[in-house]
């Protein structure tokens, strides 16, 4: 059976929306981080879908780039989070507003 491409796109949009909403409403830094990963992978899904639809392998190549960048980003992000936890226990994102005007 052949799943229509639109369903993939709808799934990706829903996943992106869940990620974006989570990023905006949650305060736990670790959860926000996971939301970002969710949004990245939603985008990856659209890339792959369009690659299949258009018979263009370029979209799949882009996904590899995104995965590599996401892996690097996870390293940097987690190290920041670890540093935060070292300074204060149970830090939320709202505790770090040193750039407040």
Question: What is the contact surface with another protein in residues (CB under 8 A)?
Answer: 20, 23-25, 32, 93-94, 96-101
- CB 44, min distance to another protein, A: 18
Which residues neighbour 5 within 8 Å (Cβ) at sequence distance 6 or greater?
A: 49, 52, 53
- CB 85, min distance to another protein, A: 17
Q: What angle do CA 40, 43, 44 make, to 5 degrees?
A: 85
Q: Which single residue is written with the structure tokens 């590599």?
A: 68
- CB 3, min distance to another protein, A: 26
């Amino acid at each position: 059976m052949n799943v229509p491409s639109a369903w993939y796109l709808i799934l990706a949009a829903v996943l992106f929306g869940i990620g974006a909403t989570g990023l905006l409403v949650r305060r736990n830094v670790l959860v926000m981080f996971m939301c970002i990963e969710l949004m990245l992978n939603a985008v990856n899904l659209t890339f792959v879908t369009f690659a299949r639809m258009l018979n263009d392998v370029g979209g799949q190549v882009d996904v590899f780039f995104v995965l590599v960048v996401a892996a690097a980003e996870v390293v940097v992000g987690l190290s920041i989070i670890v540093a935060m936890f070292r300074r204060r226990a149970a830090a939320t994102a709202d505790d770090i507003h040193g750039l407040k005007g």
